[in-house]
Amino acid sequence: MARTTPDEDRLRGAGDKLKGRLKDAGGAVSGDRDLQAEGRADQAKGTFKEKKGLLRKLFR
């Protein structure tokens, strides 16, 4: 497993959140509830990664 830096965690988290927002919006426009749910899950994953990066930076 490759180790990441706290800043990489935060950037990847922000990317996942953006991807999730796009999927959520796309699902809302098209009426695809599965895509919306996937987007919300990506947003949650992104938030987790961002928090993980912040915590790792705090306890460095």
**Full-model pTM:** 0.86
Contact status, residue 47 vs residue 13, Cβ threshold 8 Å: yes
DSSP 25-47: HHHHHHT-HHHHHHHHHHHHHHH
Residue 1 has a pLDDT of: 53
The domain segmentation of the chain, as residue ranges, is 6-58
Q: What is the pLDDT of residues 4-17, one digit of tens each?
A: 898 999 999 999 99
